């Protein structure tokens, strides 16, 4: 996962929002945020997306349709600065013993689709725009075979994976 890539796509996706309201928006990776527990004055957006993983021990790769990504966002009206924090949950190889939790790798199209939804939520939550959420479903790009490996999913282990469905 390249953080630079997320930042670049975020800048593109929020270009119009920044023009509309004049506030600065940034996105930063933060693996300390907890799903369903945003800090005070922060909003949450959470969803499962498609990504790939690679085991750093055996080199095996696998796809997953349910990679939980948590976003917490907030607009500080005083400094006119908006912040989005994001944390993608990790998975581990199911064949290696003592496998490491690996970070997901998202295709740019999937990052863009996720961040477009985040931008929409920002408009609703921070700027009180009216969006009917039901009409723009986010379809994951790509396929993955087999059931979700709950035992090897960080979000499942923390009990927050299924809640996002
Ligand atoms: Zn492995
Ligand atoms: Zn899971």
**Domain boundaries in the chain?**
3-164
Ligand 1 midpoint to CA 53 (Å)? 10
Name residues with Cβ closer than 5 Å to ligand 2, which is an ion.
153, 155-156, 161
What phi and psi, each to the nearest 5 degrees, are found at residue 150? -60, -35
> In the prediction, which pLDDT does 138 show?
52
Ligand 2 midpoint to CA 2 (Å)? 22
E strand or H helix that includes residue 36: none
Count of residues making up the chain:
165
The number of the ligand nearest the C-alpha atom of 61 reads: 1
> In the prediction, which pLDDT does 131 show?
74
The number of the ligand nearest the C-alpha atom of 35 reads: 2
Reduced to 3 states (helix: H, G, I; strand: E, B; else coil), residue 153 is strand
> In the prediction, which pLDDT does 147 show?
79
Burial of residue 11 (number of CB atoms within 10 Å: 0-12, 13-18, 19+): middle
Q: Which structure tokens are listed for 147?
A: 């059931």
82, 105, 153 from 79: Cα distances, Å: 9, 33, 38
Q: What is the mean pLDDT of each run of 10 residues along the chain (165 residues)?
A: 87 97 96 95 95 97 95 96 97 95 96 96 94 57 68 93 66
What phi and psi, each to the nearest 5 degrees, are found at residue 123? -60, -40
CA 30/CA 108 separation, integer angstroms: 19
pTM of the model: 0.88
CA 90/CA 68 separation, integer angstroms: 8
């Amino acid at each position: 996962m390249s953080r630079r890539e997320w930042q670049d796509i975020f800048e593109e996706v929020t270009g119009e929002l920044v023009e509309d309201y004049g506030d600065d928006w940034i996105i930063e990776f933060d693996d300390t945020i907890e799903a369903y527990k945003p800090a005070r004055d922060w909003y949450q957006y959470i969803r499962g997306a498609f990504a790939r993983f690679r085991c750093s021990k055996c080199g095996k790769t696998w796809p997953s349709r349910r990679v939980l990504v948590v976003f917490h966002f907030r607009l500080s009206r005083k400094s006119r600065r908006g912040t989005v924090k994001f944390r993608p949950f990790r998975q581990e190889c199911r064949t290696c013993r003592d496998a490491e939790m690996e970070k997901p790798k998202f295709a740019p199209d999937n990052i863009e689709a996720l961040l477009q939804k985040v931008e929409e939520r920002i408009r609703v939550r921070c700027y009180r725009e009216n969006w009917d959420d039901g009409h723009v479903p986010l379809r994951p790009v790509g396929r993955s075979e087999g059931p979700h490996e709950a035992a090897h999913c960080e979000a499942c282990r923390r009990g927050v994976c299924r809640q996002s469905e």
